[in-house]
């Protein structure tokens, strides 16, 4: 995998689990295998929370504190993404921001809600508080103006749900327009 860097490719891990980070395995993958980023989504976190024993105490504590399922999910997801972003920070610094990102997705329920996507993306950006965070936004017609505005505001965006050339072109144009506005 590390040799892909020489070919101009950046390998991202499409997986996250707390023990991957706390065990040092993510750091090893970054140093030895050339992993240059990490992405997450609610389905990835669901699997991690369901199978990862390291979450049991945190979930129990959240339950005792009266947090609902959504708040518990978000608390755990933000903690993991912060840890991943911290592990990737040396890559971010070494590549001057070309690589070294950790990605966190806005709620998929907001895929068709521009204003909701913007509000959640800004809130997550501020809560995670890592300059190497990417906010994952759906490339839906309603996501396009959100992508443009977030780029304008200097929030790094990772676009998901790109299945057609027309959607890709709309996202690319929104990105360029956001850069011009910025």
Q: Cα–Cα distance between 163 and 76 in angstroms, integer?
A: 30
58-to-115, 143, 155 alpha-carbon distances in Å: 31, 33, 29
* Cross-strand pairs, 103: 134
Cα angle 39, 53, 32 (rounded to 5 degrees) comes to 45
The yes-or-no answer on residue 63 being catalytic is no
Q: Cα–Cα distance between 142 and 100 in angstroms, integer?
A: 28
Integer-rounded Cα radius of gyration of the chain: 17
* Catalytic residue ranges: 136
């Amino acid at each position: 995998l590390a040799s892909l860097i020489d070919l101009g490719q950046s390998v991202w891990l499409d997986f996250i689990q707390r023990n991957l980070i706390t065990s040092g395995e993510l750091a090893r993958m970054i140093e030895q295998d050339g992993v240059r980023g990490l992405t997450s989504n609610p389905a990835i976190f669901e699997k991690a929370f369901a199978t990862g024993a390291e979450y049991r105490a945190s979930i129990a504590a959240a339950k005792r504190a009266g947090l609902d399922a959504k708040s518990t999910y978000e608390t755990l997801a933000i903690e993991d993404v912060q840890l991943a972003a911290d592990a990737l920070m040396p890559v971010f610094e070494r590549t001057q921001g070309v690589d070294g990102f950790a990605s966190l997705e806005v709620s998929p329920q907001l895929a068709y809600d521009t204003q909701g996507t913007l509000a959640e993306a800004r809130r997550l950006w501020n809560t995670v508080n890592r300059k190497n965070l990417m906010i994952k936004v759906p490339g839906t017609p309603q996501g396009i103006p959100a992508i443009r505005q977030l780029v304008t505001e200097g929030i790094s965006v990772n676009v998901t749900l790109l299945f057609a050339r027309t959607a890709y072109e709309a996202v690319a144009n929104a990105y360029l327009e956001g850069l011009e506005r910025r």
